[in-house]
Amino acid sequence: MYLKLALRNVRRSVRDYAIYFVTLLFGVAVFYAFNSIGSQQILFDLQSSTSERQFETTAQFLGMFSVVVAFVLGFLILYANQFLIRRRKREFGTYLVLGMSPGRVSRIVLYETVMVGLVSLAVGLVTGVLLSQGLSFLTAGLFGTTMSNYQFVFSQDAFFTTLVCFAAIYVVVALFNTVTVSRQKLINLLHAEAQNQRVGVRNPWVCLVVFVVSLGVLAYAYQQLIESGLVMLDDPRFFRATVAMLVGSLLFFWSLAGFVVAVITRLRNVYLRGLRMFTVRQIASKINTAFLSLWAVCVLLFFSITVFSTGMGFVEVFVGGIEKANPYSATLSAAVWYGPDGDPRASAGGAARHDEMAAEAPERLAAAEAAHWDMAVPLQEAAPELWAETVGDYAQVDEYLLPHCTYDALILPAQEASPGANLRLDDLESIRTTEIGVVGLSDFNGARFLQGQDPVTLEAGQYALANNMEISAELARAVAKGAPSVDVLGQTLAPTGEVLDTQLEDNAMTAVGLILVVPDEVIDGLVGEGLIPSRSLLNVNYADNGKTVEENDAALAAIVAAAQPADMDGFEQGAAGADDQWASLLWPVTRIITANEMIVQAAGLRLMITYLALYIGFIFLVSTAAILAIQQLSQASDSSQRYRTLWKLGCDRRMVFRSLLVQVLVYFLVPLGLAVCHVTCAVGVMSESLFNAMGVSTFAPIMLAAILTLVIYGGYLAVTYFASRGIVKGSLQQG
């Protein structure tokens, strides 16, 4: 009998509180789908360990955030159950009057909770499995790969993780419901509908003061956030901004209702018209009694919208233009000299770098000078056949630092030529005291040849400026406009007035910043003065040998391993290689970067950031909207007697429904409005300090975030209004 009664109650609850059940199903489905990402790699042609690591890393990050998501969903379920139990107090009181013991009432509630949990888990898991199949195609697009053999994927790990998490949540819910029902007094249960919540009207003058203080605290938070620039999260200003935002938002919601009521009640022509008195009091009651939940909703909305909008922007920052940043098949770099302490900044600079290297790493220096700093010479000698088979065209770029000549010599004329331009000198930090980097014209044209670009010509006494970093683009244009001359070994060089866009190495992003291209005679003069390169780059394009890119990458690594075996040791080592089969030396090869490696890593990073942004943004946005929806439905149900009284007093249904619509709109839009203010400040600061500096537009991500918010949040708002209207309409029909 008790099981049948519980089943009947569940059916009625599904009909009356469909939003609650749909939200649970959605939570289970999304939780499973995103935790199954790691199992999807069997669908793709992952021919390198790098690709596999990207999937593993993404799955690990999603798993870490799933813990946070589980707590959020657990809070949502508990919070919703509090309203559901309160809605049914009179029903439970009726059971007790009919002779049922409190323990048996609690058993009915336990049965209901188990049924709801089983249904939501079952249907949610089925939906999640289907959703994960769709995510496979999205994964393919983000990862830039193809499905070699599509098959239905079921992730046992994601299944058991979802099962354990939600089973634990439902156990807590069952205990909460059982204890809550067993502790209720019969008189309170029977008169639950007649009991009004205490509105707790606050002193209007206190509310006014607190409201003004909240605005001041929020203004301080925005000011600290703007000053910090959101560049370093360990900045004390960022911490102060976060605390001030949380405190200011809490004070805002605590004082809002009392302040608004005090203002509107003094506007008699407004307050006493229609049902505005009733509407204002209803809204004030809701905000006063639920200001903590509104505060939490506002914070979660801010976090979800910010994560989604900036997450898409971060994708473009880290992986946008990856093809342009990797124009060669591979780049082999030589650090040449780190300084006596292993720090490139510890070197004295100029010709002293040669003497330091001669004293600390004589074998490396001797080998480099014997080959005239040509990195290809020892590599060809170590594996001539493999080199000829693997490498097609190649060209080396040697960069030198002009002794006692810093970028300040270029910046001062640039500031004079473009006084109103934003040169971003604060972002470029110590560029003023950095020695100017130069490359020879032949080396520069060699790099352009590998990319299919036309060669550059220089007249005697000229230099060209190379730059493709967006953060220094405005400064580069100002330098070209200012036309500052540079003195090198007694020779004065004047600029050509143009800025050249040529990537000099494979990298994670375009990385050529304010490099001077000078005639070869200038480089010969610097070498004659005892200067050694600050770094050397050997760019190669693979031969048309019928091998895959991964096979050529492996062959290139084998060539380097033949020239510098992994068991080489000593101070002459460069950056320590973890799992490399070759030793990392100061010269000829410190590091290998392949275009395939960079593109695969970029695709993996795009996959991880996109899924994290979608995962967190969706869950938090749905949770906040569901909390508000459940609160509004419960409030409409609790206030049904009041609406019936208004109808009996002569108010037509249109007036009642209009009052209900205003209440729903205010309750949904007030936390959203404050959250949008927070988002506008945070995203604006991040755009100014990061996205604009990298040439990334935030318009598209912001529009996507707005559409997502409009669809989900607006959808919940509309469904909440019509469901509340149905409850009120049924109450009026009973009257």
- Higher per-residue confidence, 90 vs 153: 153
Residue 569 or 494, more confident: 494
Query: Does the pLDDT value for residue 128 go beyond 80?
Result: yes
Of 238-247, 393-402, 431-440, 492-501, which has the strongest mean pLDDT? 393-402
User: Tell me, what's the pLDDT at 52?
Assistant: 62
pLDDT tier for residue 536 given thresholds of 50, 70 and 90: very high
End-to-end Cα spacing for the chain: 33
- Amino acid at site 458: L
DSSP symbols for 532-581 = --SEEEEEEEE---S--HHHHHHHHHHHHHHHSBTT--STTB-SPPSS-S
Q: How does pLDDT run across 607-655, given as a tens digit for each residue?
A: 777 777 777 788 888 888 888 888 788 777 777 778 787 777 777 788 8
Residues 295-315, mean pLDDT to the nearest whole number: 81
Print burial letters for 247-279: b (CB count within 10 Å at least 16), e (below 16): bbbbbbbbbbbbbbbbebeeeeeeeeeebeebb
What integer pLDDT is reported at residue 237 of this predicted model?
A: 81
Instruction: Determine the average pLDDT of the residues in 128-154.
Output: 67
The pLDDT value given to residue 317:
66
- Statement: residue 199 has pLDDT above 50: no
> Strand 435-440's sheet: what is its strand order?
486-488, 491-500, 462-466, 515-518, 435-440, 391-406, 535-542, 330-334, 591-594
Contact 192, 62 (CB under 8 A): no
Alpha-carbon distances of 553 from 20, 557, 596, rounded to whole Å: 54, 6, 8
- Which amino acid does the sequence have at 275? L
Q: Where are the beta strands (DSSP E) in 472-530?
A: 486-488, 491-500, 515-518
pTM, two decimal places = 0.71
Q: Does the pLDDT at position 203 exceed 50?
A: yes
C-alpha 187/C-alpha 198 separation (Å) is 18
Nearest to 135 by CA among 153, 123, 108: 153
pLDDT at 102: 65
Give the tens place of pLDDT for each residue, 556-586. 999 999 998 887 766 566 655 556 788 888 8
What pLDDT shows up at residue 345?
47
How wide is the angle at C-alpha 704 spanned by C-alphas 702 and 705, nearest 5°? Answer: 65
Q: How confident is the model at residue 474 (pLDDT cuts 50, 70, 90)?
A: confident
> How far apart (Å, rounded) are the C-alpha atoms in residues 634 and 20?
11
Please report the pLDDT score of residue 93 as a whole number: 64
Structural contact between residues 373 and 380, judged by C-beta atoms closer than 8 angstroms: no
Residue 131's pLDDT is 81
pLDDT at 96 over 60: yes
Q: Which amino acid is present at 644?
A: R
Tell me the C-alpha distance between 602 and 610, whole Å.
12
**pLDDT digit string, tens, across residues 683-717:** 888 777 667 666 667 777 788 888 888 888 888 88
114-138 mean pLDDT: 78
Which pLDDT score, from 0 to 100, does residue 575 have?
59
Amino acid 449: pLDDT:
94
What pLDDT is recorded for position 446? 94
Does residue 336 contact residue 588 with C-beta atoms inside 8 Å?
A: no
Q: What is the pLDDT of residue 55?
A: 66
- The rounded mean pLDDT for the chain is 79
In whole angstroms, what is the distance from residue 387 CA to residue 379 CA? 8
User: Higher-confidence residue: 388 or 131?
Assistant: 388
CA neighbor of 202 nearest in space, from 287, 89, 121:
287
Q: Report helix, strand or coil for 407.
A: coil
List the one residue out of 170, 136, 125 whose CA is nearest residue 30: 125
CA distances from 732 to 110, 174, 635, 637 (A): 33, 34, 16, 12
pLDDT at residue 470 is higher than 60: yes
